[in-house]
Amino acid sequence: MNLATLINDGNTLSDILNKYQNSVILCDQNTETLCLPLLNLNTEIPVISISAGETNKSAFSLNFIWNKLLQANADRNTILINIGGGVITDIGGLAAATYNRGIKFINVPTTLMGMVDAANGGKTGINFNGLKNYIGTFTEPEAIYNWPEFLKTLPFNQIQSGFAEMIKHGLIADKKYFEKLISLDIKAETAEFINWNSLIQKSIEIKNAIVSRDFKESGERKLLNFGHTIGHALESHFINSNLPHGHFVSAGIICETFLSHTVGNLDLAESQKIIFSIDSVFERIPLLAKEIDEIAHLALKDKKNKEHKIKCVFLDKTGDANFDNDITLKDIVESLSFYNS
């Protein structure tokens, strides 16, 4: 299993690509304009570009990518370079994993979310019938090229989005890391002055350590889903919104921290501290009371469910979590009502 993570300059990526006979670039319209020119790659490499946004992580876009690979005469000696955020690395990884029964690919994450989470760990996928990441594979990229310089191209809500996953990493595995993160002044006017390199590397180390022990998510890797059982239900409900993934994760963290106390063993004061720290960075997503039951029912289709039971990650304490906890629709409704209060 290749868990390589490269943090280097543009020439390093070119050096990697020189090992392959043929390469194709996949990006979205935003990263084609803002990020691709910064890499100084060979301009003769074919570029596949799709529309930006979560709604384009679809079977329609996947079919479009396959057709473009065919037009570019891609074969099993071709490497696909996925340049973008989580949408691009997810769908690009799936396109590569399935085209010609599998070609190699490199992830070049251009968002904070991509750098600390989406591009790492070998999960590929698309959304299906309004359900998040319902079709996909476990397939490792050949390499991951992380270049924090891309963060300068991002709007602040994308920085917040990645930051939610970083907070998650601290909450499930490293209390000191969590406390370091919440001590930062995360605001639009201050984000560019933060030393992201070391923080990104720490999140990568936490995730890679878990993934290396449980690649196909039969056990420990489920911890990385903290905040996602309810977060994904919210995201599926608001699938056409412009909110990035991490904002739904932040909401899910609040709800699942609430349940970690009310259903699990998390201390009340500790749960309140965690929730306060999330609220200091993220505005809550407004919900209508009539939407709460519908959102809760979307959790019935969560991929992590087992034997028709909704499974959730709970915190025992900051930096220590456990998985496969049974929760009910009533629990989810109560957590969403708390979130909405």
Question: For the chain, how many structural domains are there in total?
Answer: 2
Q: Which residue in this structure is represented by tokens 């919440």?
A: 182
User: Quick check: is 1 in a domain?
Assistant: no
pLDDT bin (cut points 50, 70, 90) of residue 12 is low
The pLDDT value given to residue 7: 41
Residues 72-92 have a mean pLDDT of 96
Q: Say which CATH number the domain at 226 has.
A: 1.20.1090.10
Residue 147's domain spans which residues? 6-152
Longest dimension (CA), the chain: 59
Tell whether 282 and 187 lie within a shared domain.
Answer: yes
Tell whether 138 and 221 lie within a shared domain.
Answer: no
Residues 7-19 have a mean pLDDT of 61
> Is the pLDDT score of 221 beyond 60?
yes
Residues 325-333 have a mean pLDDT of 96
Which tens digits make up the pLDDT trace of 223-260?
Answer: 999 999 999 999 999 988 989 999 999 999 999 999 99
Higher-pLDDT residue of 39, 203:
203
Q: CA distances (Å), 127 to each of 3, 98, 235, in order?
A: 25, 16, 11
Tell whether 121 and 194 lie within a shared domain.
Answer: no
Name residue 24's beta-bridge partners: 80
From the centroid of its chain, how far is CA 284?
19
Name residue 7's beta-bridge partners: 146
Residues 60-67 have a mean pLDDT of 98
Residue 318 to residue 161: CA distance in whole angstroms: 21
Which tens digits make up the pLDDT trace of 89-102?
Answer: 999 999 999 999 99
Residue 103 to residue 142: CA distance in whole angstroms: 10
Tell whether 262 and 302 lie within a shared domain.
Answer: yes
The pLDDT value given to residue 16: 73
Contact 174, 319 (CB under 8 A): yes
* Number of helices (H), then strands (E), in the chain: 13, 10
**138: DSSP letter:** B
pLDDT bin (cut points 50, 70, 90) of residue 131 is confident
Of 53, 80, 52, 77, nearest to 66 (Cα)? 80
- The torsion angle over the Cα atoms of residues 316, 320, 322 and 328, rounded to 10 degrees, is 40
Residues 183-191 have a mean pLDDT of 88
Which tens digits make up the pLDDT trace of 156-185?
Answer: 999 999 999 999 999 999 999 999 999 998
Of 67, 74, 93, nearest to 82 (Cα)? 93
Of all residues in the chain, the percent with pLDDT exceeding 70 is 96
Q: Say which CATH number the domain at 144 has.
A: 3.40.50.1970
In this structure, the strands spanning 104-109 and 78-84 are: parallel
Going by C-beta distance under 8 Å and a sequence separation of 6 or more, which residues neighbour residue 133? Answer: 90, 123, 125, 126, 127, 232, 303
